[in-house]
Chain A
Amino acid sequence: MVPDQVNGREQIPYKGVGKYIPDANRHAPRIASCANYPANGDKRLKDLKAALEKSGLRDGMTISTHHHFRNGDLLANQVFDIAHEMGVKDLTWFPSASFPCHEHLVQYLEDGTIHHIEGSMNGPLGQYVSEGRMNGTGVLRSHGGRYQAVQDGEVQIDIAVIGSPTADPFGNANGLSGDSACGLLGFALADSQYADQVIVATDNLVEFPCIPWQIQGNYVDHVVEVERLGDPGQIVSGTTRITRSPDRLMLAELTARFCDAAGIIRDGFSFQSGAGGTSLAVGEYFRQIMQEKKIRARFARGGSNQYLVSMLEEGLVDYILDGQTFDLDGVRSMAENPNHVWTSPFTSYNYHSKGNFAGMVDVVILGATEVDTSFNANVVTHSDGSLLHGIGGWQNCLFSKTVILPIPLFRDRIPVVKDRVTTLCGPGELIDVIVTERGIAINPLRKDLVEATRDSGLPIKTIEELKSEAERICGVPRSAEFEDEVVAVIKWVDGTIIDAVRKVRQE
Chain B
Amino acid sequence: MAGNTGDKVRSDCRIKLTLAEKGGIVINMESKVTVMYGEANLQLVREIMEFFGIHHATIDIEDSGALPHVLAARLEVCIKKISNTRKEYLLPISRGEIVGGEPGRFRRSRLYLPGNTPAMMINAGIHQSDGIILDLEDSVAAERKDEARILVRNALRNIDFFGAERMVRINQLPLGLEDTAILAPHGVELILIPKCEEDWQVHEVEKVVSSTLEKTGPDQQIFFMPIIESALGVENAFRIASASKNVVAMAIGLEDLCADLGVARTAGGKESFFARTRIVNACKAAGIQPIDSVFSDVTNMEALLENVKKSAALGFEGMGCIHPGQIRVIHQGFRPGEPEVEKALKILEAYREARKNGLGVVSLGSKMIDAPVVARAEQTLQLARKYRLIK
Contact = CB atoms under 8 A, between A and B. Distances in A.
Interface string B1-31: 0000000001100000000000000000000
Contacts of B67: 413, 473-474
Interface string B311-331: 000000000000111000000
Contacts of B324: 246, 250
B121 to A, nearest CB: 12
A412 B10 contact: yes
Residue of A412, A475, A479, A481 contacting most chain B CB atoms (<10 Å):
A412
A414 B325 contact: no
Contacts of A413: 11, 33, 36-37, 65-67
Contacts of A477: 33, 36-37
Give the interface residue-count category, chain A. 20 to 34
Nearest to A477: B36
Residue of B10, B37, B64 contacting most chain A CB atoms (<10 Å):
B37
A58 interface: no
Contacts of B384: none
B301 interface: no
Interface stretch (B122-130, B164-172, B195-203): B122-130
B37 A473 contact: no
A385 B32 contact: no
A473 B122 contact: yes
A246 B10 contact: no
Contacts of B10: 412
A478 interface: yes
A384 interface: yes
Interface residues of B, number: 23
Contacts of A385: 35
A250 B66 CA distance: 23
Contacts of B33: 384, 412-414, 477
B34 interface: yes
Contacts of A472: 94
B37 A478 contact: yes
Contacts of A473: 67, 122
A247 B32 contact: no
A384 B37 CA distance: 10
A241 interface: no
B35 A478 contact: yes
Given A384-B35, A413-B37, A475 B126 contact: no
A140 B323 CA distance: 41
Interface in A408-449: 411-414, 437-438
A343 interface: no
Interface string B29-69: 00011111101100000000000000000000000111110
Interface in A375-420: 383-385, 411-414
Contacts of A437: 123, 126
Interface in A458-484: 472-475, 477-481
Contacts of A480: 35
A161 interface: no
A480 B37 CA distance: 10
Given A475-B40, A477-B37, A478-B39, A412 B32 contact: yes
A249 interface: yes
A478 B126 CA distance: 27
Residue of A246, A411, A472 contacting most chain B CB atoms (<10 Å):
A246
Nearest to B94: A472
Contacts of A249: 325
Nearest to B40: A475
A383 B122 contact: no
Contacts of A411: 65
A246 B65 contact: no
Contacts of A384: 33-36
A475 B94 CA distance: 12
12 contacts: A247-B123, A384-B33, A384-B34, A412-B65, A413-B37, A437-B126, A438-B126, A475-B37, A475-B40, A477-B37, A478-B35, A480-B35
Interface of B: 10-11, 32-37, 39-40, 64-68, 94, 122-123, 126-127, 323-325
The 4 A-B residue pairs with the shortest CB-CB distance, nearest first, are A412-B65, A477-B36, A246-B324, A413-B65
